[in-house]
Structure formats: structure tokens, C-alpha cells
Structure 1
Amino acid sequence: MTYTSNASITSISTPGAPAAIGAYSQAVRVGDLVFVSGQLPVDPSTGRLAGPGVADEAAQSLRNAEAILEAAGTTMDRVVKTTVLLADIGDFDAVNEIYGRFFTGAVLPARATYAVAGLPKGARVEIEMVAAA
């Protein structure tokens, strides 16, 4: 099978979000889509987890993703899909409240939320997203 693509693939990075901690990009743009890697609640100015609460962590994860989207030339209003990972599903309501402050447009993104056994750096939340460029 042969695959041919005319879409360019571009890595996106910004100092406004934490640097990748592995072999991946902060985001990748493919054609008219931007795929933002899961964002931990790490404050890029300190390298530490936001806190003390899970709401603070959710807000930082979303600010990190927002900075990456801006570096890619798009905005939170153009997000079409998110995935929210929670270390404790009991944090759903607190995270959902913060999430709703970032997504207020007429068309809200599709979303999946999962409870996971653990997240890097002991974080309680991680958020990834896909946006239209």
C-alpha cells in the first residue's frame, strides 16, 4: 500500500507552555488541524505543578494548551475535541467548572473524560485537544 499526502506536518512549540518531557511535540499541525499533546498542570515559569487544588491544576493545563494553540495561530474557540484525564474521577465536577470557563462559544468541543491510574509528575489532571487551524 502506498500513501501520499500533500498536507504539511509542522511541529509547534512555545515557551508559554512546559517543554515536552519526552520524545513528542507540544503540538503538531497537519493541514488545517492542530493536535495539542496532553498538557499537565505545570507552570512554565516555575516548572512546578499548579495548585493547591485540582481546579488550579485544570486551569493551568488549559492555559498551557491555550498558549500552544496561540503559537499555532488558532484559539480555544476553534477546538473541536478534547480529552480530559483525571487521576480521581471524583474531581470531575471541579474540573468541569473550570473547563466551562475556557469553552464558552456557540459550538463547544466534543469531549471524553477518563479516570486513569496515574499521571506524570503526580498531576491530577491532563488535557489534550484538537483544533481547527
Structure 2
Amino acid sequence: MSIEKFMVGTAPQPIAPFSHACRVGELLFVTGQMPTVPETNEMLLGTFAEQTHRVMQNLALVLDAAGSAFEHVIQARVFITNMGHFDEVNAVYASYFETPLPTRTCIGVTGLAGGADVEVDLIAWIPPTTD
């Protein structure tokens, strides 16, 4: 089994040395996405809800390019700089999924790259294509 590492042209360009995702078999490991606006590659430093929406939209770009979707997410990790906004982040995050939800860990951190307040990474299944 090989490892496919790839970048997604429509997703924000990395601010550090990494690939957007790595595929191993039917599993997709998506790098933590920040609230970066793809068109400008500038960090969206709005509310926690606004940042969470942008993060989830960026994750959707990577999932779609790899042949997956939120419905196929197995596990997520959410990083937030202020746990006082836990409920706000959760409401936006949950709106991108149907139930049952994927497994998830939420981690309070003292800071994120670029001054962001929210970052999310994922592990997803890539279903076989039907031709």
C-alpha cells in the first residue's frame, strides 16, 4: 500500500511545510485547516463562529478534492484558543455533519499559527468510486 501526499489548488496555501492531505488506501488524513481565505490566503480573524465556518469550508475543499465528504469523516480534532467559546464553535461544527457524528477531541490551546482561534483536522474514509 502506498502513501499519496497531495495539495489542493483551491484550498488555502500552507503557512508551514505540509501537504493538505495524505491518502493511505481508503483513509484520508487531512491537515488541520485554519480560517484562511483561499482567494487571498489571508487569515480571517473574525468571531469564533466566523472562523469555524471558514475552517469547515476549507476542510470541505480538501475532502471534495480527495473524493470524500463530511458524511465520511471518521474522526476530528478541534483546537480552540478560548474554551469560553466552546458552545459557539460546537454549534457551527455540528452544522456540517449529520448524525451520528464522527468521533472528536477538542483541545484548548494557548495559541495557533497566524493568530487564528480555531483549527480542525480530520480522518475520513474515501469511498470506492462507482463508474
Identity %: 35
Return the match for 1:54 from 22, 31, 48: 48
* Counterparts of 2:90 and 2:6, CA distance in 1: 27
Task: Report the equivalent of 1:116.
Answer: 109
| Alignment match, 2:81 | 87
**Would the aligned equivalents of 1:54 and 1:94 in 2 still touch at CA under 8 Å?**
yes
Which 10-residue stretch deviates more, 11-20 or 92-101? 11-20
- State the 1:8 CA deviation: 1.7
Distance 2:50 2:23 in 1: 28
Distance 2:62 2:23 in 1: 11
For structure 2, the 5+ residue unaligned runs are 127-131
Residues 15, 44 of structure 1: 8 Å contact kept? no
Q: CA deviation at 1:76?
A: 0.8
Post-superposition CA distance 1:76-128 (Å, at most 9, x none)? 10000000000111111111010111011x43110000100100010000000
1:67 aligns with 2:61: yes
Contact 1:83 1:128 in 2 (8 A): yes
Which of 92, 100, 109 is the equivalent residue of 2:94?
A: 100
Q: What letter is aligned with 1:97?
A: A
Identify unmatched segments of 5+ residues in structure 1: 1-6
How far 1:51 moved relative to its partner? 4.4
Contact 1:12 1:68 in 2 (8 A): no
